[in-house]
């Protein structure tokens, strides 16, 4: 059942990206611009992006001189990203992977991780805990994770089919709406540096932008 939901969701992303080659546009999002500024100021060079989609934040990161490994489970999203990023081949790695599985990277292989609106997809709380710990594993000590997630103040919270665990399906996508308690739970093994609410788009989507640093203790 869990595998079926994941595959249904992946296919929905494939169709949606196929029909919308520029679904989120091509300019950096607000958290994308924030992450570029933060990573550059801290001298963090190697970035793992989880759920890169069509690359609206990946390309600005490459333009800023960062080395990015972009991961997503959608062929269509990654195809568009490759088209947009042809001039940055030497700085870009592209990996097709479902984050329900352990991340396919060695321990301590990245300076930073960035993820805009992947954490709030169909993943359960237990799966999010595993993902965050996997992210911690592949970050070097002192490495920084910036992620965003729609929260329970969002207009779509509680609307549509109820998948349990604060997850609701709307427009074919299952969204996990975060409360502040979940943000704190996912910070195990990290220093929680900052949690900033922000809005995106016309609905507007209401999100948390979370910044945390991998604690030095392994």
Ligand X SMILES: C[S@@+](CC[C@H](N)C(=O)[O-])C[C@H]1O[C@@H](n2cnc3c(N)ncnc32)[C@H](O)[C@@H]1O
Binding site for ligand X (CB under 6 A): 6, 13, 24, 29, 51-53, 56, 72-74, 77, 98-100, 116-118, 121
If the CB atoms of residues 59 and 183 are measured against ligand X, the closer one turns out to be 59
Task: Considering the complex, state which of residue 26 and residue 218 has its C-beta at the smaller distance from ligand X.
Answer: 26
Long-range contacts of 124-133 (CB under 8 A, 24+ apart): 124/165, 124/167, 124/176, 125/165, 125/176, 125/182, 125/185, 127/100, 128/176, 128/182, 128/186, 129/185, 129/186, 129/188, 130/102, 131/50, 131/99, 132/186, 132/188, 132/190, 133/188, 133/189
| Least spacing, CB of residue 191 vs ligand X, in Å | 24
Work out how close the CB of 53 gets to ligand X at its nearest, in angstroms, rounded to a whole number: 3
Least distance between ligand X and beta carbon 208 (Å): 14
Cα distances (Å, whole numbers) of residue 10 to 31, 71, 150, 168, 202: 24, 14, 19, 16, 24
Nearer to ligand X (CB atom), residue 6 or residue 213? 6
Taking the least distance from each CB to ligand X, the nearer of 22 and 218 is 22
Nearer to ligand X, 52 or 91 (CB): 52
Q: Is there a contact between 32 and 63 (Cβ–Cβ < 8 Å)?
A: no
Using the minimum distance from each CB to ligand X, give the nearer residue, 12 or 185.
Answer: 12
| Dist. CA 80–CA 200, nearest whole Å | 22
Residue 78, SS3 per DSSP: helix
Q: Return phi, psi of residue 194, to 5°.
A: -165, 140
Minimum distance between the CB of residue 143 and ligand X, rounded to whole angstroms? 19
Is there a contact between 44 and 68 (Cβ–Cβ < 8 Å)?
A: no
Task: Name the minimum Å distance from CB 84 to ligand X.
Answer: 12
CB of 180 to ligand X, least distance (A): 21
């Amino acid at each position: 059942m869990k595998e079926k939901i994941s595959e249904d969701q992946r296919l929905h992303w494939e169709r949606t990206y196929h029909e919308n080659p520029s679904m989120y546009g091509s300019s950096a999002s607000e958290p994308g611009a924030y992450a570029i500024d933060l990573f550059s100021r801290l001298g963090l060079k190697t970035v793992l992006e989880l759920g890169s989609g069509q690359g609206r934040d990946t390309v600005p990161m490459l333009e800023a001189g960062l080395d990015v490994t972009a991961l997503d489970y959608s062929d269509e999203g990654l195809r568009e990203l490759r088209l947009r990023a042809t001039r940055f081949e030497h700085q870009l790695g592209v990996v097709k992977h479902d984050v329900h599985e352990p991340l396919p990277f060695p321990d301590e292989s990245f300076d930073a991780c960035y993820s805009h609106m992947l954490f709030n997809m169909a993943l359960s709380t237990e799966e999010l805990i595993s993902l965050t710990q996997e992210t911690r594993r592949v970050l070097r000590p002192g490495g920084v994770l910036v992620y965003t997630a729609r929260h329970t103040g969002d207009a779509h919270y509680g609307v549509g089919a109820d998948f349990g665990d604060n997850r609701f399906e709307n427009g074919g996508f299952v969204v996990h709406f975060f409360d502040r308690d979940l943000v704190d739970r996912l910070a195990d093994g990290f220093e929680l540096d900052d949690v900033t609410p922000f809005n995106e788009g016309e609905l507007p989507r209401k999100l948390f932008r979370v910044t945390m640093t991998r604690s030095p203790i392994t």
